[in-house]
Amino acid sequence: MRLTRREALTSAAALAASTALPDAALTQDQPRRGGIVTVHLSSEQRVLNPALRASTGVYVITSKMMEPLVDLDANGQPEPMLATNWETTPDGKTITFKLRPNVTWHDGKPFTAADVQFTAMEMWKKHLNYGSTLQLYLDAVDTPDPLTAIFRYSRPMPLDLLLRAIPDLGYIAPKHVFEGTNILENPANTAPVGTGPFKFVEYQRGQYIIAERNPNYWRAGLPYLDRLVWRFITDKSAATAAMEAGQVHLSPYSALPLADMDRLKKDARFVVSTKGNEGNAVHNTLEFNHRRAELADIRVRRAIAHALDIDFFCDNFLYGFGKRATGPIPTSSPAFHPTGAPQYPFDRKRADALLDEAGHRRKADGSRFSIRLLPAPWGEDIALWATFIQQSLSDLGIRVEVVRNDAAGYLTSVYRDWNFDIATGWHQYRNDPAVSTTVWYRSGSPKGSPWTNQWGWQSEAVDKVIDDAASELDPVKRKALYAEFVRLVNTEIPIWMAIERQFVTVTNARLRNHHNNPRWPSSHWADLWIS
C-alpha cells in the first residue's frame, strides 16, 4: 500500500492543531488508543535489518517491527521478549533459551527455534557488525523442539554478557524469507518482516518510512498507536521548525542543533533530556587509517591527541553535553571503567615536539603534511568536532581537508573502501565492553562491516586480552582484563575515544510512556501513546 505524502503526515497536522486544546489534556493518564507519531531522522542508512547491521539508525526504525530475544526493563535488567527464560551450564559453553509460544511473523508464518538458529549462524556470526566478534566462538545452535534454542560455544560465554548484548545484537529474522537467497541483497532488508508491534508499510527513499499497528501482536492490547512515520529531514533548522510546528513529535539521538536543544528545554511543549539513553553512552571518535604512513607512526597519533583541547571544545560547543573521555570504557560503566590508563592532555608544545621527532618538520610555508578527514553525518556535534580538529591541526602545520558524505557514502568510504585518512563519528557503549566496544580494536572483522576494526592495525596482545575477557566467567578477573585492554589501547591509540557523553532526545510533551527504559529510542514503543 502506497500512501501519499499528505496522508503520511496527516497525524502531524492533527497533533499541531491539538496544541490549542485545554491544559487538562496534558494531565490525561489513561492510555489512549489510536493516533500517529512522527519521528525525525537526520540521515538514512538504507539497510533496515538489525540482524545484519547494529546501528541506532536501524534500531530507531526496525526495533518496532523486528524483535530481539531479550530487551531491557526500566531498571536496565534483561526482560523477556521472544525468549521467555534462559539458563547456562557451569562451564559457560551451553546457553539454552526457551522461546515464546504462539508468536507469528507479519506474513502469518509461525516463529520457531529454526528462525533463531538461522539468524544466529547465518547473520549474527557471518555478517552482523559487533555480532561476528561476539559470536566468534559460537559453534552451533541446536533446536530439539520448535520452542528451544541451545547455543553451543567452544569457549565460555558469560551469561550476563550475552544478556547485555542481545537487546542490540539479538534481533531475529525470518528463516523462510532469507533461506536460499543472497542474504545481503534480500528485499526484506529494506522491507522488514518481523514479529513486532508494528508492520512495515512503505519506504520512500529520502522522504519517509511508514509502519502500522500489527493486529496479531503477541502482547494483547498493544500497541496503542495506529501508525509510526519516520521523516528524513537533513536540514537541522528545518527539523527544529517541524518540531515546533507539531509536524514531528520526536527527535532522537542528538539530531537537532545543540543551540536549539538548549532553547527548547525551556519550552513546556517539549521534554529535552538524556533520560532513556543510559544504555547508549557515546564517544566522539578519532579513527586513524594506519595504511597512511604518517598515521601508522604512534608519535603522530599522540601528537594529534595532544593538539586537541577537549575541555575547551566541550565547554564552548557542546553546551555541557560532554566531557573529556579517559578511554573506550566510559565512566557511566562503573562495573568495568578502569583508572590509571595513559592519557593525552592538551599540550601544543608536546604535539609539536612529537611531530618533529617523527621527522615531519615544518616546511618553509609552515606546513608538515596534508590529510583527509571524513566526519559521519549523524549529528551536529560530529560536524563541529571535525571543524575543531581541522582548525587545531592547522596550528600544528597539518592541513586537513574535510570530506562530507551522506550516511551510505560515509560507511562505504571508511569501512569498505578504506578511502580516508582520519574519520570521526560515534562509538556507542552498550552496557558491556564485549558488546560494541572491543570490536573496534579486535582484528578479523569482515571488510565493510561498520564500526569495526577497519584501520589496518592489529595487535596480538590486544586480540588475546579481548578474547580472554569475553570468555572469563569470574567478574573480578573480567574487570581486570578490561583494565589491561584499556591500558594497551590507550598506549597505542589505534583510534582515540576523545569525548564522552549521552544522547539527547527532544520529545513532544503529549507523548506518554516514552523513555521508560535505558535504550528507549531503540526499543519497541508498543506502550507509547498520545494524550
Q: For residue 14, what are the CA distances in angstroms to 21, 23, 34, 513?
A: 11, 17, 12, 20
More confident residue, 408 or 456: 456
pLDDT at position 26 is 43
Q: Which residues pair with 211 in a beta bridge?
A: 200, 228
Burial of 64 (0-12, 13-18, 19+ CB in 10 A): buried
Cell for 77?
A: 535488567
211-228: pLDDT as tens digits: 999 999 999 999 999 999
pLDDT digits (tens, 9 = 90+) for 237-293: 999 999 999 999 999 998 999 999 989 999 999 999 999 998 888 999 999 999 999
- d(C-alpha 420, C-alpha 456), whole Å: 12
Compute the average pLDDT of residues 415-442.
94
What pLDDT score was predicted for residue 443? 94
Query: For residue 111, what is its C-alpha cell?
Result: 516463529
Q: Place 24 in a pLDDT band, splitting at 50, 70 and 90.
A: very low
Q: Is the pLDDT of residue 10 over 80?
A: no
CATH of domain 5-18+196-277+504-530: 3.40.190.10
The fraction of the chain above a pLDDT of 90, given in percent, is: 83
Q: In the CATH scheme, what is the code of domain 70-178?
A: 3.90.76.10
Q: Is the pLDDT of residue 413 over 70?
A: yes
**Residue 190 to residue 192: CA distance in whole angstroms:** 6
**What is residue 100's DSSP assignment?**
P
pLDDT for res 9: 44
- pLDDT grade for 332, boundaries at 50, 70 and 90: confident
pLDDT band at 399 (very low <50, low <70, confident <90, very high): very high
Per-domain residue ranges of the chain: 5-18+196-277+504-530, 70-178, 279-502
Cα(508)–Cα(514) distance, rounded to whole angstroms?
10
Q: Which of 38, 68, 54, 456 is nearest to 247 (CA)?
A: 38
In 349-425, the DSSP E strands lie at 369-375, 398-402, 422-424
* Predicted local confidence at residue 28, as pLDDT: 58
Helices (H), 112-172: 113-119, 131-134, 159-169
**Helix or strand run (H / E) with residue 511:** strand 511-512
Does the domain spanning 279-502 belong to CATH 3.30.565.10?
no
- 19-28, 389-398, 443-452: which has the minimum mean pLDDT? 19-28
- Summarize pLDDT for 132-149 with one digit per residue, the tens: 888 989 999 999 999 999
Predicted confidence at residue 433, as pLDDT, reads: 94
> Does the pLDDT at position 509 exceed 70?
yes
Helices (H), ranges, 120-199: 131-134, 159-169, 175-178
User: What is the distance of C-alpha 264 from the center of its chain?
Assistant: 25
| pLDDT for the residue numbered 14 | 44
The identity of residue 413, as a single letter, is S
Whether the Cβ atoms of residue 211 and residue 60 lie closer than 8 Å to each other: no
Q: What's the mean pLDDT when you consider all of the chain?
A: 92
| DSSP class of 171 | B
Q: How far apart are CA 253 and CA 260, in angstroms?
A: 14
Q: Are 487 and 343 in contact (CB under 8 A)?
A: no
Q: Report yes or no on whether pTM surpasses 0.85.
A: no
Gap between the Cα atoms of 452 and 445, Å rounded: 6
Cα 432 to Cα 97, 153, 214, 481, 492, distances in angstroms:
21, 19, 33, 13, 22
Cell of 72: 531491557
